[in-house]
């Protein structure tokens, strides 16, 4: 009988140990990120900001943040494939939902045989209000089982101070400098003259509409440190000066292309872009100090 009791206790012990598989709680003291595994285990969570490995929770407006859940294990396997799910929510002040992605892998209907498995989630910080408390919550789950892995991190967004914007009457969601060659947003003032750039104005509104058209004027100037003129155009939209523009054509996005030629430049240079409404007194001025290299 002693032997039987020992075997009975051993079976209970093994069963309890198996229930603890992939049960984990972790907290990152640097970012305040918190994760909990319940049946799904993750070898590690890493972050990239604008494609570079980093670990912070204060983001510049417009940055792209990617989360990588590396070495995902514990998913139910069917015919050598697993069926993961991943959802993402972003809250403002704990209770106001700003973004909800309920199944980022909805198209993965046939599962995956990748091993080790890495799941990713990303968002752009330009969509969120500056100086407000936010929290991102990400859930990994098993579409063929009960396992889950949850991750959450508080974060704040600060202004991209590259551009100085003075606005009188217009509305917009974002204004930023985009490196068209590298396909990334520009944050620092070091400009590669071999690249093409675009000044982007998103969801621009507020023009006075007369006879179903608007009449925007967009001027651009770039001076070097000795006031030598490098770029000058009094109205990039001159072809529409008489006929005007359908407001829907620029409401979603207006873009000004900036390209440079080789030559001696005395840095820093000053960029000045002005948008005016010829049907009203509304103005928007954008300026920046740039180093052309």
Domain closes at, from 158, 183, 204: 158
Average pLDDT of the segment spanning 199-213:
93
Task: Please give the backbone phi and psi of residue 238, each rounded to the nearest 5 degrees, phi first.
Answer: -60, -35
| Residue 10 pLDDT | 40
Write down the pLDDT at residue 22: 59
Number of domains making up the chain:
2
**132 and 150 in one domain?**
yes
Q: Please check whether residues 212 and 285 belong to one and the same domain.
A: yes
Give the CATH number of the domain where residue 70 resides. 2.70.50.60
The range of the structural domain enclosing residue 285 comes to 164-292
Percent share of the chain, pLDDT over 70: 92
**Does any domain span residue 7?**
no
User: pLDDT at position 138, please?
Assistant: 98
One domain for residues 55 and 100: yes
Which of 108, 128, 158 marks a domain boundary? Answer: 158
Per-chain mean pLDDT for the chain: 90
Q: What is the pLDDT of residues 5-51, one digit of tens each?
A: 444 444 333 333 444 445 778 999 999 999 999 999 999 999 999 99
Average pLDDT over residues 183-190: 90
Q: Are residues 74 and 198 in the same domain?
A: no
Among 107, 124, 158, residue at a domain's last position = 158
* Distance (Å, whole) CA 41 – CA 140: 10
The answer to whether residues 83 and 192 belong to one domain is no
Q: 179 and 145 in one domain?
A: no
pLDDT at position 162 is 94
pTM for this prediction: 0.75
Count of positions (residues) in the chain: 293
Same domain, 178 and 287: yes
């Amino acid at each position: 009988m002693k032997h039987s009791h020992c075997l009975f206790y051993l079976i209970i012990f093994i069963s309890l140990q198996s229930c603890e598989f992939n049960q984990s709680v972790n907290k990152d003291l640097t970012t305040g990120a918190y994760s909990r595994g319940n049946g799904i285990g993750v070898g590690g969570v890493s972050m990239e900001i604008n494609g570079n490995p980093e670990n912070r929770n204060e983001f510049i407006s417009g940055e792209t943040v990617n989360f990588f859940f590396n070495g995902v294990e514990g998913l139910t396997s069917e015919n050598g494939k697993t069926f993961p799910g991943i959802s993402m929510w972003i809250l403002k002040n704990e209770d106001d939902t700003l973004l909800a992605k309920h199944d980022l892998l909805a198209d993965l209907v046939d599962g995956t045989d990748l091993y080790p498995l890495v799941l990713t989630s990303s968002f752009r910080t330009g969509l969120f209000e500056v100086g407000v408390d936010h929290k991102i919550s990400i859930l990994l789950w098993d579409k063929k089982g009960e396992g889950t892995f949850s991750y959450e991190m508080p974060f704040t967004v600060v202004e991209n101070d590259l551009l100085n914007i003075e606005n009188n009457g217009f509305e917009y969601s974002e204004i930023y400098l985009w490196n068209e060659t590298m396909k990334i947003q520009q944050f620092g003032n070091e400009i590669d003259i071999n690249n093409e750039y675009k000044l982007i104005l998103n969801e621009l509104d507020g023009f006075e509409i007369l006879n179903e058209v608007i009449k925007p004027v967009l001027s651009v100037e770039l001076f070097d440190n000795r006031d030598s003129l490098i770029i000058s155009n009094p109205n990039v939209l001159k072809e529409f000066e008489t006929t005007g523009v359908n407001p829907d054509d620029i409401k979603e996005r207006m873009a000004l292309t900036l390209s440079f030629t080789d030559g001696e430049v005395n840095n820093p240079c000053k960029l000045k872009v002005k948008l005016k409404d010829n049907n009203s007194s509304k103005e928007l001025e954008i300026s920046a100090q740039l180093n052309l290299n």
